[in-house]
A and B are shown apart, each in its own frame.
Chain A
Amino acid sequence: MALEKEKRQQTEKEIDYEKVVQSSSFKQFMQDKKKFIIPWTIFFLVFYFLLPILTSYTTFLNTPAIGDISWVWLFAFAQFVMTWVLCIVYVKKANSFDKQADEILEKMQEGGDDK
């Protein structure tokens, strides 16, 4: 265990992380993540806060939508659906992030072995 750790530390020392961060594949990776996360975060925050804002300052959600059920309930349930859908979408997307990360790690290891 201790030996393994030492060995790992040795290989770590040989890796130039600054170079990894500057590499195009890492930059692309971070860019792709950002491109997914930022817009969806803005979307779900707006969607989420819109409900209390609308119920606090307006009353138009109180009108019936389907039968006796008013818009405010539909909006509330939509929050659940949104959370579930975004979770699934992210988990799907993250598999491709994993692939990119693995490629970066592989390249990094190769770079480390080249002495």
Chain B
Amino acid sequence: MNITYLLFFLCIIVCTLIITYWAARQSKTTNQFYIAAGSLTGMQNGMAIAGDYISAASFLGIVGTVALNGFDGFLYAIGFLVSYLIVLFFIAEPVHRLGRYSLGDVICARFPSDRVRGTMAVGTLVISVLYMIPQLVAAGLLIRLLLDINYSTSVLIIGSLMTIYVVFGGMFATSWVQIVKTVLLLSGTFLLSLIVFSRFDWNVAALIQEVQLGTPLGEQFFLPGNLFDEPLETLSLQLALILGTAGLPHILIRFFTVRNTKEVRKSLLTSTGIIGLFYIITLILGLGAVALVGYQQLITLDPTGNLAAPLLAGQLGGDFLMAFISAIAFTTIVAVVAGLVISATTAFSHDIYYHIMKKGRTTEKRQVRAAQVSAFIIGLVSTLFALGLKNINVTFLVSLTFIVAASSNLPVLLFTIYWKRFNRAGAVTGMISGLVGAFVLVLFGPHIMHPVDGWIPHEPLIPLNNPGIIAIPLGFLGAYLGTVFSGKPQENAADFAKFTVKAHTGAGGDRR
């Protein structure tokens, strides 16, 4: 085993455990455990959101797809970024004002009912665990390759780290691990991109020329159409990307960790700044990888191109830089999975255990204990899943997560906040139709149904890899039809007045 790698990895592990130790002393109440007592500043939370959001799929993945496919790889980055406008304009502030710990709180501010809360909690659990598995699998493969330890050990290391952070340090530890990750990721990749430019004497034209020599695509590299040649597929993906973020529970619960809506907006200003900058850097790294490492070498080690960033670092700065960038990739993954564990934990212990099972009658101490136990179980179950799925390509789960978030959470959030006629039945049918719709469409799509190497050896019934363009309207339709056909009279008109005032001004609530 290479000692440089080991040192970097140990350094990251020790630093994050120190953070967790410090955070553990401030995670004694539910308020501290779930939302870090709302004590983060907008700037800190913005960095944490970036740390929560930028997954291995977008760091390693986008560098890789840009290196292999040119312009089309960059389309992902655009969708990931622009989606924050939906969050900022429609979702972030009302979510902060209406909820306390979870998305279930937000919907139940208008429709207090166990069924609504339970459905939301199940949706959150499904999204978080679905998203966690590909991250863990990717992490396992990455560490195996870099540290030369076997897959199961790698997954176990990441799985235990994320579980330790959340069980002992709650939202405090999660947030600070994410902040540290953002600082490391941004500075490390920025440094790397500067080295790329310096290799070409800061001459962009020379870089572009070298890229065209390095890629088999030639001039076509810089033009669209290499990855997406099916217009419907492209639009469907773009739709899921722009609407997905606004339904991702692990991002939305971050808006509870600040004091007021001013800080919510500052969080988003910071995070869009960081995320945008970061994706521009990944573009440079992708170009650098194909120019300096070369296409052939990129695909020999990993045909998906996911190792483009570490390989580029190795090419530019030898083992040391490669170890540094790999350690950053490792931090990227643990920060994201920790965020997913805490969102799943909140959904289970706050919504299902505290509200539904205990009907809100239990002590503060027991709640924190329950949260820790759920965090442990969620960490364990996801790790076990990841251990079992080693040889299966699970990257499609990342796009499935965005589709589920956009088709099951977003319609219900939007209608709850803005549509007066919306009712309890509509909320439940909306969430279920979005969730089930997304699953069924993926099940009948080319990821699962494939005549040669699919789980179901059959021609796909739905030709779209990314069925967002069907699933998302299904979610909205389900919510609408559920409302219209439930036949319930407008019983909650007075409620809605109070709810609206609270959602838009923060009246009657804790403006923390």
Contacts and interface: CB of A to CB of B under 8 A. Distances in A.
Interface residues of B, number: 47
Chain A binding surface, main DSSP class: helix
B235 A52 contact: yes
A109 to B, nearest CB: 9
Interface in B265-318: 265-266, 268-269, 272-273, 276, 279-280
A12 B508 CA distance: 6
B259 to A, nearest CB: 14
Contact of B261 (A44, A76, A98): A98
Most chain B CB atoms below 10 A, which of A57, A98, A102: A98
A19 B445 CA distance: 51
Interface string B222-260: 111100100100110010001000000000000000000
Contact of A20 (B84, B88, B268, B497): B497
A41 B235 CA distance: 18
Contacts of A49: 235, 238
Contacts of A94: 93, 261, 265
A51 B77 CA distance: 13
B96 to A, nearest CB: 12
B175 to A, nearest CB: 21
Contacts of A83: 81-82, 84-85, 272, 276
Contacts of B57: none
Interface in A35-87: 37, 40-41, 44-45, 48-49, 51-53, 55-57, 61-62, 67-68, 70, 72-73, 76, 79-80, 82-84, 86-87
Contacts of A91: 265-266, 268-269
Interface string B203-225: 00100100000000000001111
Nearest to A29: B504
B498 interface: yes
B379 interface: no
A87 B224 contact: no
Given A90-B265, A101-B504, A72 B276 contact: no
Given A52-B234, A80-B81, A8 B508 contact: yes
A6 interface: no
B78 interface: yes
B262 to A, nearest CB: 7
Given A17-B494, A18-B494, A90-B89, A57 B261 contact: no
B492 interface: no
A56 B75 CA distance: 12
A2 to B, nearest CB: 12
B197 interface: no
Contacts of A80: 78, 81, 276, 279-280
Interface in A1-45: 8, 12, 15, 17-18, 20-21, 26, 29-30, 33, 37, 40-41, 44-45
B82 A44 contact: yes
A90 B242 contact: no
A48 B242 contact: yes
A15 to B, nearest CB: 7
Contacts of A108: 501, 507
Most chain A CB atoms below 10 A, which of B234, B494, B508: B508
Given A21-B501, A48-B238, A83-B84, A105 B507 contact: yes
A91 to B, nearest CB: 5
A76 B74 contact: yes
A87 B508 contact: no
A88 B235 contact: no
Interface of B: 71, 74-75, 78-79, 81-82, 84-86, 88-90, 93, 205, 208, 222-225, 228, 231, 234-235, 238, 242, 261-262, 265-266, 268-269, 272-273, 276, 279-280, 494, 497-498, 500-501, 504-508
Which 9 residue pairs across A and B have the least CB separation, nearest first? A56-B231, A55-B224, A17-B498, A101-B505, A17-B497, A21-B497, A18-B497, A79-B78, A52-B234
8 contacts: A33-B504, A52-B238, A68-B222, A73-B71, A80-B279, A82-B82, A83-B84, A83-B276
